[in-house]
Amino acid sequence: MSFRRNLHWLIYPLFILSCARQTSPTGGPKDTIPPILVRSFPAKQQINFKGDKIELLFNEMVAVSNPKEQVIITPDVGKDYEITANKNKVSLTLKNKLKDSTTYSFNFRDAVQDITEKNPAVNLKLALSTGSYIDSLYVQGKVFDPIKNKDLKDITVALYQSDTFNILKHKAVYITKSNEKGDYIIENLKPGTYYIYAIDDKNRNLLIDSKTEIYGYLTDSINLKANAKAVTIPLVKLDARTLKFTNSRPYNTYFNIKTSKNLKSYKLSSPAEVILSSFGDDQANIKVYNTFDAKDSVAVRFQALDSINNTLDTTLYAKFNQREVKPEAFTIKSEGFKVIAHKGIIKGKIQFNKPLLDIRFDSIIYKIDSMKTVTFSRENISWDSLHNKLTLEKTFDKILLEKPKESQISVNQKQPPSKPSKDSNPAPKKIINNQLYIGDASFISIELDSSKRFEEQLRPQTLEESGILFIEIETTQPHYIIELLDKNFNIVSSQRDIRKTSFEDLTPGEYQIRLIIDKNNDGKWSPGNYLTKEEPEPIRFYTNEKRSSVINLKANWEVGPLLIKYP
């Protein structure tokens, strides 16, 4: 038999195989229409369901994408099911029997997609009951980041009914996930009392890892007799682990203390020694510097407080390396310096990586020009509690900033024309105007190393170059904090307990206004504590009619009054 006569026997199976493959068609307009559910087995709202398999038929061929993450079954059945697609049919097979007299909700979210452009089926849900009726109540609302006023997507929202349930240890069975806008809904619930919480479940175990995951909760129960709407849950980073002392040891030129988590504050004391310290690379490490006269270990009382007000009180024995060790380099960094021309004010902050021992004020100068300078003294600074950040602010005669007119220049100031230099190309003399000058060794650290020279240009900002925001607060709460934020959520300025106020002399740019309801009147936002059933202190942002919190402030503008209401 010749090869040519047998060739068709080779081509025929290849042709059949190519016809059997499901591939995306090429050419033509892009498919933007999602698959449509034609029929389901069992039907929607089916009662007395006793089976273990659900089938969905669509108007076109479909595939399933990441089903174990996308499909949500409530009450939760875990991952004990299989879901497959074949042509236009999706099958979900349960490995375990469903509970009797229970309404189940199947939310497929974006799991089912067409095979051409992967358009997901829209609002693909199925409810059924193993009993004689369908539970129909629901809880819906929004999850968001209160610190940045940001909606949160793909957040797991959960309900539970037992008041002994612990969201840090137990898994809920009524769950859903938020959409792109932070909206969520848990449907097909029976009447009863529920508690609610939400978690950014990164490790997908339905348990809160408070060290790494943000979460939120409401301490009040939801008495579900009718549908519960607008149940809003703020999510925050709140480390609920027990505060523990981890270790302490000499390191480099300092004595390092380490705790199990970041601290809000701490105190070190000794009856025999003055102790200077600072936080290390994070707020779980504390550096104690060697200011001790004794060469042996010194007893130090260590008291610490974390973000949920857990306390630690213990005695340590601080000791330092006796061998010569090169200390870490001493660095300084300026923050937010500005000169307000129409008020004659210079202000800003300087950050140090070590506590300070001394300051040479005669080397810290604001040079307006070669003739006029502003100097500083100890009265012009204030310190943070750890002595490694200072605020520098001084009011001076604003006339110094005015440029003299030609007629005001005295005869003595006018210089005769100079004789030609022998050097035909003399180097031009550098003109220094509006410069913050911090000379060498202006700051001496606790380890006796000195700062390097630092210079920063500070052009005075005139009234016409700045803007003003007027703020009005409407609330029945007695204590609150009004924070002015830049576009990166850094705090520019803040005020407390003032109904009508303003933020003046602002550099043009984008700002936001954040209102913190300071319920415990401690002057800062408190994140709450799940273990003691305390919710985070409420936060509100100013938003305009378009629900945007961004305020675009231009030069010479006065904006407001901007009204913030609570509740």
Three-class SS string for 442-454?
CEEECCCCECCCE
**pLDDT for the residue 428:** 59
The domain made up of 137-234 is a member of CATH 3.40.640.10: no
Which CATH architecture group holds 37-129?
A: Sandwich (2.60)
Distance CA 332, CA 351 (A): 6
Confidence class for position 386, pLDDT limits 50, 70, 90: low
Residue from 382, 379, 340, 343 nearest 361 by CA: 379
Average pLDDT rounded to a whole number, residues 415-421: 55
User: Residue for token digits 């037992």?
Assistant: 162
Average pLDDT rounded to a whole number, residues 151-172: 94
Is the pLDDT at 61 greater than 80? The verdict is yes
Is the pLDDT at 424 greater than 70? The verdict is no
User: What are the tens digits of pLDDT across the range 303-326?
Assistant: 999 999 999 999 999 999 888 888
The percentage of the chain sitting over the pLDDT mark of 90, rounded to a whole number, equals: 80
User: What are the tens digits of pLDDT across the range 194-224?
Assistant: 999 999 999 888 899 999 999 999 999 999 9
Residue 24: DSSP 8-state? P
Range in 28-42, 96-110, 410-424, 547-561 with the lowest mean pLDDT: 410-424
Share the mean pLDDT of the chain: 91
Task: Identify the bridge partners of residue 197 per DSSP, sorted by sequence position.
Answer: 158, 217
Is the pLDDT at 102 greater than 60? The verdict is yes
Distance CA 358, CA 451 (A): 11
Which CATH architecture group holds 245-318?
A: Sandwich (2.60)
Average pLDDT rounded to a whole number, residues 352-363: 93
CATH node for 463-566: 2.60.40.10
pTM (predicted TM-score): 0.85
Distance CA 32, CA 205 (A): 35
Is the pLDDT at 24 greater than 80? The verdict is no
Average pLDDT rounded to a whole number, residues 498-509: 97
Distance CA 250, CA 228 (A): 57
**pLDDT for the residue 158:** 97
Average pLDDT rounded to a whole number, residues 461-476: 97
**pLDDT for the residue 112:** 98
Distance CA 378, CA 357 (A): 13
Distance CA 449, CA 201 (A): 47
Distance CA 140, CA 232 (A): 8
Phi, then psi, of 513 in degrees rounded to 5: -115, 125
Phi, then psi, of 507 in degrees rounded to 5: -70, 135
Residue 46: DSSP 8-state? B
**pLDDT for the residue 326:** 86
Average pLDDT rounded to a whole number, residues 488-512: 97
Confidence class for position 79, pLDDT limits 50, 70, 90: confident
Is the pLDDT at 378 greater than 70? The verdict is yes
Confidence class for position 15, pLDDT limits 50, 70, 90: very low
Range in 10-19, 90-99, 388-397 with the lowest mean pLDDT: 10-19
The beta-strand segments (E) located in 235-344 are 245-251, 254-259, 265-269, 277-279, 285-289, 298-305, 311-318, 332-340
Tokens standing for 266? 């701490």
User: What are the tens digits of pLDDT across the range 259-272?
Assistant: 999 999 999 999 98
